[in-house]
């Protein structure tokens, strides 16, 4: 399949579209700014309360007449541009494909050679997030502002979180006799698929008590030790980069000093402990947990704490206490992940996106300029990106569309096929956006017999108004039909002569319904959940105890307790914090408007990550290894991103 790298089939149409949009944009920008000036966020209200001279109100009163005059002057040009822009949308393609050519050995082609479908299983990591990159006036309805700056910061945080070095930390302590739970980082080895040790693009400070294992036992270079700057592209030269760190009390070793933190200490305090009360949408500095542009390690990087029989023989005072402290950190992290020992996989609230993230699905990337900024940041880690997905005008849908679908997909693996469908059954405000579903087929490897190993991913955003359950159920029906049609139309295999082996089939996105609310019973019982497994769900209307809501209470987005990834993580690990800062469905029977209904689901979990257990290669099995609720985008969106790691193993390995 030919992937579209431009929105129009020829340069003439592209030029005409640019001219028409240039005529429309001044009017569009002025309307957006004018409306935004009358929709303050809670952060701006607090600033105004601290402004005794009311300077912001004076500025608004001064500039409003100017905006109105310019708006009236721009209307004729906007009308002329619209006359050209609207018919052009019938020739517009449903997405734009972008590939970063200059990736060197980190390219997707190199990743394909790392898994041949035999031997040890392969893990793939998926993440989804609603980032609310609407025009600024519309974003303010969700208590968010400064869309362009947020887009750049979101891209930086995702890129830097995913490009973190893989760290395996082993704690040697006479009191640590337990093995901590595996994190996302533990599912990769320090070697590539070809068995060659990889260089570590790490960010670990050297201390006398830290012993670097890997790459022949050599210390990483100074560049690796310092880590990439938060604003620079991150070179993820190998998907399986890893560093094994040993923290122990060997004879003659020196414990780390207090001003030289080791990864174990960072596990408790986050990656640098950013100051409380920072302004929202701020640029993270070195050491800030959101940016990760500094030598630091997260809780996820505490991969395997393994007990050793060694005892600390250091003669320095306080050595044992420091080692015991580090051992206790790992134990606490293990206890948090093992809170429900009957679960077959690990789960946690994480301050970072998982390291070595393979696939990213985003919703509500509606603003075109913000989408471009976000794409440029994500290209520092992802080689393949689809953006500006959807249709405009009256093309393909029943009503006129002012916004695209808001979907964006990023991948480290080559994209083979793409399809997009717009939901026809929408109403109210949702009818103005071309919400739909994006279907992708990616290649993740090849067998020694030259059979392609592929995976299927679907990203969607369903109808928003909570009372329209029937519309969402209809969209889920369409989603299932489109999934089946896409697999059938893109499959080049037959039962007798399979040319492709399917490793995974994943559906994710913002479904706009939860699994606990009594108002969402129709969606909870949909047949989609019989074909695809939800790792957080026990059954219709029943969540697993550890699952939490993904929709935040917008009134508290800028509170000091949740304004940083570390703070939000700590809040969500307590029941009281979840009650205060997560959105809960309102009870119609309570008679109190806005009253939070006490639900065992810990809030509205409307962002889903599903995977199929059937329809894969008969000899393979895809199992969830980790599931994570992520706080790294705190202050930048009103949703919690979620991530899932699947491990695909063959029957030969199990045997």
**What was the pLDDT predicted at 245?**
54
**505 plus 464 within the same structural domain:** yes
Residues 6+ apart with CB under 8 A from 55: none
pLDDT tier, 62 (very low <50, low <70, confident <90, very high otherwise)? confident
**What was the pLDDT predicted at 231?**
45
Q: Which of 159-168, 219-228, 387-396, 467-476 has the lowest mean pLDDT?
A: 219-228
pLDDT over 70 (residue 347)? yes
Q: Which residues, in sequence order, are bridge partners of residue 418?
A: 440
What's the whole-number average pLDDT of the chain? 76
Q: Which of 93, 126, 155 is the last residue of a domain?
A: 93
**562 plus 416 within the same structural domain:** yes
The string of DSSP letters for 15-37 reads HHHHHHHHHHHHHHHHHHHHHHT
pLDDT tier, 166 (very low <50, low <70, confident <90, very high otherwise)? low
Identify the domain containing residue 30 by its residue range.
1-93
Task: Quote the percentage of the chain above a pLDDT of 70.
Answer: 67
Whether the CB-CB separation of 513 and 501 falls below 8 Å is answered with no
Instruction: Please tell me the total count of domains within the chain.
Output: 2
Return the higher-pLDDT residue of 190 and 606: 606
**What was the pLDDT predicted at 48?**
80
Residue 319 lies in a domain: no
**535 plus 639 within the same structural domain:** yes
pLDDT over 80 (residue 348)? yes
pLDDT over 80 (residue 109)? no
Q: Which of 17, 347, 611, 639 is catalytic?
A: 639
Distance CA 358, CA 346 (A): 19
**What was the pLDDT predicted at 530?**
93
Q: Which of 93, 126, 146 is the last residue of a domain?
A: 93
**389 plus 530 within the same structural domain:** yes
**What was the pLDDT predicted at 558?**
94
Q: For residue 126, give the DSSP letter.
A: E
Distance CA 292, CA 565 (A): 11
Residue 216 lies in a domain: no
**What was the pLDDT predicted at 134?**
95
**What was the pLDDT predicted at 73?**
96
- Is 639 an active-site residue? yes
**Location of structure tokens 């003669």:** 315
**What was the pLDDT predicted at 5?**
92
pTM of the model: 0.77
Whether the CB-CB separation of 88 and 321 falls below 8 Å is answered with no
**33 plus 133 within the same structural domain:** no
**What was the pLDDT predicted at 321?**
42
**What was the pLDDT predicted at 325?**
38
**What was the pLDDT predicted at 267?**
38
pLDDT over 60 (residue 160)? yes
Residue 327 lies in a domain: no
**379 plus 520 within the same structural domain:** yes
Distance CA 239, CA 164 (A): 11
pLDDT over 60 (residue 210)? no
**What was the pLDDT predicted at 106?**
54
Return the higher-pLDDT residue of 503 and 165: 503
**388 plus 502 within the same structural domain:** yes
Residues 373-399 pLDDT 10s: 999 999 999 999 999 999 998 875 567
pLDDT tier, 1 (very low <50, low <70, confident <90, very high otherwise)? confident
**413 plus 546 within the same structural domain:** yes
Residue 145 lies in a domain: yes
Residue 297 lies in a domain: no
Helix axes 368-378, 147-162, angle to 10 degrees: 20
Whether the CB-CB separation of 111 and 413 falls below 8 Å is answered with yes
**What was the pLDDT predicted at 192?**
40
pLDDT tier, 466 (very low <50, low <70, confident <90, very high otherwise)? confident
> Please, what is the Cα angle at 266 between 207 and 335, to 5 degrees?
120
In this prediction, residues 588-596 reach a mean pLDDT of 47
Q: What is the largest CA-CA distance in the chain?
A: 82
Residue 134 lies in a domain: yes
**Location of structure tokens 């808001």:** 406
**What was the pLDDT predicted at 223?**
38
Q: Which of 38, 64, 93 is the last residue of a domain?
A: 93
Residues 6+ apart with CB under 8 A from 197: 190, 191, 214, 215, 216
Q: Which of 263-277, 326-340, 561-575, 641-655 has the lowest mean pLDDT?
A: 263-277
**What was the pLDDT predicted at 167?**
63
Residue 564 lies in a domain: yes
Phi, psi of 638 (to 5 degrees): -100, 15
CA 154 to mean position of chain CA atoms:
9
pLDDT over 60 (residue 506)? yes
Q: In what order do the strands lie in the sheet with 122-133?
A: 96-99, 384-387, 408-411, 359-365, 122-133, 642-650, 620-630, 346-350
| CATH at 641 | 3.60.10.10
**481 plus 373 within the same structural domain:** yes
In this prediction, residues 159-165 reach a mean pLDDT of 89
**What was the pLDDT predicted at 64?**
87
pLDDT over 70 (residue 601)? no
Q: Which of 122-136, 318-332, 369-383, 535-549 has the lowest mean pLDDT?
A: 318-332
**What was the pLDDT predicted at 528?**
95
**479 plus 598 within the same structural domain:** yes
pLDDT tier, 50 (very low <50, low <70, confident <90, very high otherwise)? confident
Task: Quote the percentage of the chain above a pLDDT of 90.
Answer: 50
**48 plus 151 within the same structural domain:** no
pLDDT over 70 (residue 550)? yes
Residue 509 lies in a domain: yes
**Location of structure tokens 């099995």:** 621
**49 plus 156 within the same structural domain:** no
pLDDT over 80 (residue 279)? no
Residues 282-330 pLDDT 10s: 444 443 445 444 333 343 433 333 333 344 344 444 444 443 333 333 4
In this prediction, residues 516-523 reach a mean pLDDT of 90
Whether the CB-CB separation of 93 and 13 falls below 8 Å is answered with no
């Amino acid at each position: 399949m030919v992937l579209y790298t431009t929105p129009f089939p020829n340069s003439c149409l592209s030029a005409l579209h640019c001219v028409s949009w240039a005529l429309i944009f001044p009017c569009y920008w002025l309307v957006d700014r004018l409306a935004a000036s009358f929709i303050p966020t809670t952060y701006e209200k607090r600033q105004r309360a601290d402004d005794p001279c009311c300077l912001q109100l004076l500025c608004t009163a001064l500039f409003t007449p100017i905006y109105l005059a310019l708006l009236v002057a721009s209307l004729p040009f906007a009308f002329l541009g619209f006359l050209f822009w609207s018919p052009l949308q019938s020739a517009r393609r449903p997405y734009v494909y972008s590939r970063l050519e200059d990736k060197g050995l980190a390219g997707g082609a190199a990743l394909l050679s790392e898994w041949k479908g035999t031997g040890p299983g392969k893990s793939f990591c998926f993440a989804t997030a609603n980032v609310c990159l609407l025009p600024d006036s519309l974003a303010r309805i969700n208590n968010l502002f400064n869309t362009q700056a947020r887009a750049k910061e979101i891209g930086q945080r995702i890129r830097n979180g995913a490009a973190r070095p893989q760290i395996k930390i082993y704690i040697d302590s006479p009191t640590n006799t337990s093995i901590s739970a595996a994190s996302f980082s533990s599912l990769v080895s320090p070697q590539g698929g070809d068995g060659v040790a990889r260089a570590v693009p790490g960010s670990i400070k050297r201390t006398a008590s830290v012993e670097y294992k890997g790459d022949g036992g050599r210390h990483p270079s100074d560049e690796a030790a310092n880590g990439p700057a938060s604003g620079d592209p991150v070179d993820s030269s190998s998907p399986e980069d890893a560093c094994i760190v040993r923290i122990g009390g060997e004879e003659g070793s020196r414990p780390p000093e207090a001003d030289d933190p080791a990864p174990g200490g960072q596990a408790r305090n986050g990656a640098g402990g950013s100051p409380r009360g920072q302004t929202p949408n701020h640029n993270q500095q070195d050491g800030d947990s959101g940016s990760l542009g500094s030598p630091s390690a997260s809780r996820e990087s505490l991969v395997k704490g393994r007990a050793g029989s060694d005892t600390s023989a250091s003669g320095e005072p306080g050595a044992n206490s420091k080692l015991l402290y580090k051992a206790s950190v790992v134990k606490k992290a293990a206890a948090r992940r093992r809170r429900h020992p009957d679960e077959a996989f690990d789960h946690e609230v994480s301050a970072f996106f998982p390291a070595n993230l393979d696939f990213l699905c985003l919703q509500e990337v509606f603003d075109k300029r913000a989408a471009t900024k976000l794409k440029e940041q994500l290209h520092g880690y992802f080689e393949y990106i689809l953006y500006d997905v959807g249709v405009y005008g009256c093309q393909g849908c029943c009503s006129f569309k002012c916004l695209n679908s808001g979907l964006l997909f990023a991948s480290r693996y080559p994209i083979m096929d793409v399809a997009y469908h717009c939901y026809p059954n929408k109403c109210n405000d949702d009818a103005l956006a071309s919400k739909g579903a994006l279907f992708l087929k990616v290649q993740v490897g090849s067998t020694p017999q030259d059979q392609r190993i592929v995976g299927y991913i679907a990203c969607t955003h369903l109808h928003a108004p909570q009372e329209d359950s029937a519309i969402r159920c209809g969209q889920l029906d369409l989603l299932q039909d489109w999934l089946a049609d896409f697999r059938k139309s893109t499959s080049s295999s037959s039962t007798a002569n399979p040319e492709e082996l399917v490793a995974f089939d994943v559906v994710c996105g913002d479904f706009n319904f939860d699994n606990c609310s009594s108002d969402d019973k129709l969606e909870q019982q949909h047949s989609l959940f019989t074909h695809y497994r939800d790792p957080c769900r026990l059954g219709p209307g029943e969540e697993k105890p550890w699952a939490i809501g993904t929709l935040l209470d917008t009134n508290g987005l800028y509170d000091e307790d949740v304004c940083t990834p570390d703070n939000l993580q700590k809040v969500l690990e307590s029941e009281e914090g979840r009650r205060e800062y997560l959105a809960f469905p309102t009870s119609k029977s309570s008679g109190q408007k806005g009253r939070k209904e006490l639900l065992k689901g810990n809030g509205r979990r409307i962002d889903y990550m599903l995977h199929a257990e059937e329809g894969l290669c008969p000899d393979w099995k895809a199992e969830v290894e980790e599931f994570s609720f992520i706080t790294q985008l705190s202050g930048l969106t009103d949703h919690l991103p979620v991530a899932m790691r699947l491990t695909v193993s063959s029957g030969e390995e199990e045997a």
